[in-house]
Each structure stands twice: as C-alpha cells, then as structure tokens.
C-alpha cells in the first residue's frame, strides 16, 4: 500500500508540475518579450530568450508608461476596482449575515436567487444592461461599481454565507447583551472573525474587476474613459502603430499588481480555508 501511495504521489506531482508550467509559460513569454526589441518580437526570435542583440532593457516599460492614455487608464481601472470591491465586500457580507441569522422564507428565497445569479451568462444581459446603464447614468468609473455589485453579489454572498454558518451565535448574543446594536455587532464582532473570508473574496473580486474587459467596454463612454484591458486592445505607439514591445510591457504592468496582492494575501486565503474546515 505504501509503495502504491508513493507511486501515486509521484505521478500526481508530475501532473501538477506540468499544469503549473502550462499556466506560468504564457506569463513568462510576455515578460521575456517585454524586454526585447521590436524586431525580435515580430520574428521567430519571439520564442527565444533575450540575447545581447535583442535585449532592450526597461525601454519598453518606459515607453508604455509614457504612452498616451496609460496613466489615465490605470487610474480608471484602479478607481473601478477599489470602489467595486469595497462595495461588494460591505454590502454582500451584511446581506449574508442577515440571510444566515434570519431564517424565513424570504431569506431562503434571496439566498437561492443569489446562487442562481452565478449561472446566468453575462451575454444574455449585456445589451439590455448597456441600454439601462446609459439611462441611469451608470457609465462613469465612479458609479459603474453598482453594476459590478449586482454581478459579483452571487459568489460573494455564497462564500460569506458558508462561513457565517460556522460562527457561533453565542458571540453575537453576548455582544447584544453588552449593549451593542446590530451594526456595532456586525462591524465590531462579525467582521474581525470574517477577515480571512473577506480577503479571499476581495482577491477573487479584484482579479475579476481589474481584468474585466467586456463590461467596461459596453458601459463606459469610451471617448472619455478607458480601462487597462481596453487600452491594451487599442494600444498604439507614438506614430500610431501598434508596438509589440511596449504593449507586452503594458500587459506586465497590468498583471503585476494582482500578483503582488496575491503574494501578500495568500496566507489569509489558506487561513480562511483552514478555519472553515475546522469550524465546519
């Protein structure tokens, strides 16, 4: 049995290692080409490591940052991501707390509707959504977060509700006895316990909103506002030509913030999963 287990572990390790390489390889290719000269990217040298002749240093990153519209698009994406994620975390955690603690037909119906919203394809709603957002003036980076709240609520409420069920009700009852009102109980008692799940949901929602292309493309006024994914599609250099080097650098600058956030917050994700398993 031990020999079979060892063989299975080795096979599993090889398979997972190959999957990791398959996921990392595209990012590695983008990083490698972001350091090359333009002529090396558009030829067969695109799949080769940079050499002394093809290496371009950080010039592509300087050109990408200095290109027209990059800083504006970066700030637009940052504004949309921060406002949307904060709104999703606050509203959905409060909603999940109410659904979990108030057991009646209405809350059960709300929960099933939130779960059902996760299986509804965005393509079914996008044309109606674009028209409605224009009518309600939700086509700016400061209020598009309301639309993201609607689409992100399903997953967030589902995850928050699952963790809320593992929180002992006695803790909240003790807070109420000590004189806390419902809002104080939620923000002072529930939120600190919910921290690992908040971070987990926050990372997932951040990755989705930051990298989202279709929703901002349909809703935002593209003459005034452009996000990073939209800018990458229409990326052009100083002479109106699509320059592959700066575009690769622009992609890396887009991916980098998400990687940094994940690296620093991954311990909270692991802690959230572990706590949920122990408490459940």
pLDDT tens-digit series, residues 175-192: 888 888 888 889 988 898
pLDDT, tens digit (0-9, with 9 covering 90-100), for 107-141: 999 999 998 888 888 888 888 888 888 888 888 89
Q: 137: left (phi > 0), else alpha (psi -120 to 50), else beta?
A: left
**Residue 150 included in any domain:** yes
Query: Is residue 4 in some structural domain?
Result: no
Same-domain check for residues 224 and 89: yes
Spatial distance between the Cα atoms of 259 and 26, rounded to a whole number of angstroms: 14
Q: Look at the chain and report how many structural domains it folds into.
A: 2
Q: Are residues 124 and 248 in the same domain?
A: yes
The encoded tokens of residue 231 equal 């800018």
State percent of the chain over pLDDT 70: 90
pLDDT at 2: 65
pTM confidence score:
0.83
Q: Are residues 124 and 38 in the same domain?
A: no
**Does the residue 119 lie in any domain?**
yes
11-15, 73-77, 124-128: which has the minimum mean pLDDT?
124-128
The enclosing domain of 141 has a CATH number of: 1.10.3720.10
Inter-residue contact 88 to 152 (CB < 8 Å): yes
Who wins on pLDDT, 265 or 185? 185
For residues 39 and 144, state if they share a domain. Answer: no
pLDDT band at 280 (very low <50, low <70, confident <90, very high): very low
**Could you list the residue range(s) of the whole structural domain that residue 236 is in?**
67-279
**Do 257 and 169 lie in a common domain?**
yes
Q: What is the pLDDT of residue 277?
A: 43
Same domain, 80 and 208: yes
Judge if 258 and 197 occupy the same domain. Answer: yes
Q: Is 19 among the domain residues?
A: no
Kindly state whether residue 22 falls inside one of the protein's structural domains: no
């Amino acid at each position: 049995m031990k020999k079979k287990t060892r063989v299975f572990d080795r096979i599993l390790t090889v398979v997972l290692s190959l999957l990791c390489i398959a996921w990392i390889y595209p990012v590695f290719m983008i990083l490698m080409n972001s350091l090359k000269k333009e002529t090396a990217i558009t030829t067969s040298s695109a799949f080769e490591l940079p050499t002394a002749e093809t290496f371009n240093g950080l010039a592509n990153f300087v050109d990408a940052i200095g290109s027209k519209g990059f800083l504006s698009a970066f700030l637009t994406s940052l504004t949309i991501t921060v406002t949307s994620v904060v709104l999703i975390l606050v509203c959905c955690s409060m909603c999940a707390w109410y659904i979990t603690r108030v057991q009646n037909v209405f809350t059960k119906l709300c929960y099933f509707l939130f779960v059902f919203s996760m299986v509804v394809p965005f393509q079914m709603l996008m044309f109606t959504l674009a028209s409605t957002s224009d009518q309600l003036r939700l086509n700016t980076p400061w209020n598009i977060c309301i639309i993201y709240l609607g689409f992100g609520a399903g997953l967030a409420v589902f995850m928050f509700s699952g963790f809320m069920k593992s929180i002992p009700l006695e803790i909240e009852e003790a807070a109420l006895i000590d004189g806390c009102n419902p809002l104080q109980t939620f923000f002072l008692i529930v939120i600190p316990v919910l921290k690992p799940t908040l971070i987990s949901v926050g990372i997932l929602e951040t990755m989705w909103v930051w990298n989202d292309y279709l929703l901002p493309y349909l809703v935002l006024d593209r003459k005034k506002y452009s996000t990073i994914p939209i800018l990458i599609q229409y990326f052009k250099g100083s002479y109106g030509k699509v320059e592959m080097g700066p575009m690769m650098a622009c992609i890396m600058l887009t991916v980098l913030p998400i990687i940094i956030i994940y690296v620093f917050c991954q311990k909270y994700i692991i802690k959230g999963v572990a706590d949920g398993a122990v408490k459940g």
